[in-house]
Structure 1
């Protein structure tokens, strides 16, 4: 079956409404960091204050996401995501209000942190719904893997479209309407995602989710978290190095567009993951895509102009989504029943933490030596990912094989997801 036919079948099973709502529901997270940076920097006249506020949002989200994922495993996604969506949307509106009234920036940073703490991780939580959604299908495993390929590409697409949307609204109007747009999208599509019938498929009993058999942070899973930390560092250092090079070239406004090239290649490669033969084990893919990241990042050390940078970022992107799809799939396969929400959000949170770490280190090195030392962080992260995959893949494979013969979870009641 061709990739197009495979995805057509997948979307027919889930319903197009689920796909659309889940994609639009994840845009606010992709929009809020840049929107906060522009809003606070504009209201205070300080990019330092804007950067701290945007960082507070990102760090708070990294802290809150696994907690929310655990609560969703215990009580179901519907109540948790609904409360998160409405609460975070209200916090974004409050942040805009503080900025427009010229409140001191530390209070704006607190408002940004509250918004980040409550912001739902729609992408990881959507992944949780696919497994029960496909239960009972003859090719259940293949469909879930296909769904994870789509979700990885959707995440990448959201982080291309989200900042672009913020930049467009901020340019035409102002930063405040851009962040208010994120709040409206969150209130509307976060709520629709929360109340979608597929949310009922994730209901779990709280007792089962906390037993010793349900332990999440095993050595294998921690290795996967570090794998996501490394790709987050790639994102953060690439954005920093790109910003430095674009600024030195006199076109700082092109930073977002150039960084988006990384996502374009990533989206294309992610969708093509459906073509990878099943006989190639995910641990083998992990090693290969990690090595690909390291090798494709090396030319960044040689770029001196925007043309060569554009080509390098586009090609590097082809290794990103396949790597992340593989890591998330392995995470899902080794996760005990009832802990999938916590697992997916934990992996997403470590990605955000890596982004903050990579951008911070790259920024300090850029102050010292320009864009090349910043891109050295990208290369180092790729090498670290390769060494990690080589050393930890065996442990992850053992954990996956131990999970494979486990008795399947009880069949959920049949639910009509969406009108066909």
Structure 2
């Protein structure tokens, strides 16, 4: 296991850009739950708290594809500082409005701008991994597993930190920590020019390709939309479950169980040498994830909820890792960052709608009834995964799907052909 991970990090600079990515996206796990806890602590209800959190995530869903295309055209080192400045300004406005206790509706626009200006750092890091190992699918798969593990470690630590700070300190402390992390990590990453994927020089009259037009990309994105809806709705309902059981301060470690389960499965996934075709792995993982949220209908106590959440979380990483691999194999090199960003965009759209929709259900009918929302979203996500398998295996003129399978299995991409 360790040898596979050492091999992935053998490229000079890989450890540095992965570490910068960890620091940059640590705020991902702080912002949403901090918003829910801060606003629900002020209103003693979860409906508007979920709406604000959802606005932040939907803002990211709107801004990330645009940012991804800009990165593909201009390079990470040019785009990162500019988006960082906009994000810090929007977050500062949000913090001030909370502190002076303005009407709650005034928080919606700053929250959306916060999300729109926060780059999908995970996509940028995975694009670097694709650049440093262009013809080695094994090392790329292990590297993607590392990044998924880092994501989940962040989502274990982040909710705990956010819960402690939001319930025992000023909102400014919580948001200030997130701002400091994203600023330090983004500037560090932008300074690492050696692993920044080079820009492709286009011929006269040649137009950039759109990742979403690649065969299967729309269905992959829809799978991610409903996965994100599971995340967003389940997180809000878990916070509501804790509050309705008189243990609101325990929400952090219950939500962290979600990420802990995914981190465990990511480590195991990355340590294996997979011979099963990537498309089949993705569909199988999505189907498993589609049925696991039924466990949410079982808990009546917080410890049981945490255990069930851990098991549900184990279905996340294999689906995401294989999903990133599919995008890497399907999308052309000049739109790779945009393609990887669409996974995060799908998750963000789903998260935002899931979080916004489920809070009112939890308020009116209780957390147990509201858990049916993530259950239903998971089943729809699995359905789109089956549709993707049919789409990629079906002939369309020249046999596209077998070509995709060969590229996935052999690690061949347009990217590697251009680099020679």
TM tier, smaller: 0.7 to 0.9
Indicate the SS of the match to 1:201.
coil
Instruction: List aligned pairs for 1:68-147, cutoff 5 A.
Output: 68-135=67-134, 140-147=136-143
- The 8 Å contact of residues 77 and 194 in structure 1, kept in 2 or not, is answered as yes
CA distance in 1, matches of 2:352, 2:205: 31
CA distance in 1, matches of 2:195, 2:91: 25
Provide structure 1 residue ranges, at least 5 long, that are not aligned to the other structure: 413-420
TM-score norm. by structure 1 comes to 0.88
Q: For the structure 1 residues 294 and 109, does the alpha-carbon distance in structure 2 shift closer, same or farther, using more than 3 Å as the test?
A: closer
Shift of 1:48: 5.6
CA distance in 2, matches of 1:49, 1:379: 22
| Alignment-derived partner of residue 64 in structure 1 | 63
| Alignment-derived partner of residue 418 in structure 1 | none
Shift of 1:303: 2.3
Instruction: List aligned pairs for 1:234-253, cutoff 5 A.
Output: 234-253=230-249
Q: For the structure 1 residues 237 and 400, does the alpha-carbon distance in structure 2 shift closer, same or farther, using more than 3 Å as the test?
A: farther
| Alignment-derived partner of residue 401 in structure 1 | 403
Indicate the SS of the match to 1:153.
helix
CA distance in 1, matches of 2:378, 2:43: 37
- The 8 Å contact of residues 142 and 271 in structure 2, kept in 1 or not, is answered as no
**Which shifted more, 59-68 or 231-240?**
231-240
2:192 is equivalent to residue 193 of structure 1: no
- The 8 Å contact of residues 132 and 201 in structure 1, kept in 2 or not, is answered as yes
CA distance in 2, matches of 1:41, 1:375: 19
Indicate the SS of the match to 2:200.
coil
**Which shifted more, 335-344 or 12-21?**
12-21
CA distance in 1, matches of 2:375, 2:243: 21
Indicate the SS of the match to 2:9.
helix
| Alignment-derived partner of residue 26 in structure 1 | 25
Root-mean-square deviation over aligned CA pairs: 2.7
CA distance in 1, matches of 2:347, 2:42: 29
CA distance in 2, matches of 1:299, 1:208: 56
2:270 is equivalent to residue 283 of structure 1: no
CA distance in 2, matches of 1:58, 1:111: 12
Q: For the structure 1 residues 373 and 354, does the alpha-carbon distance in structure 2 shift closer, same or farther, using more than 3 Å as the test?
A: same
2:317 is equivalent to residue 321 of structure 1: yes
Provide structure 2 residue ranges, at least 5 long, that are not aligned to the other structure: 394-399
Residues matched between the structures, number: 407
Instruction: List aligned pairs for 1:9-408, cutoff 5 A.
Output: 9-13=7-11, 14-38=13-37, 50-135=49-134, 140-198=136-194, 200-205=196-201, 211=207, 216-396=212-392, 398-399=400-401, 401-402=403-404, 404=407, 407=414, 408=416
| Alignment-derived partner of residue 417 in structure 1 | none
Indicate the SS of the match to 1:203.
coil
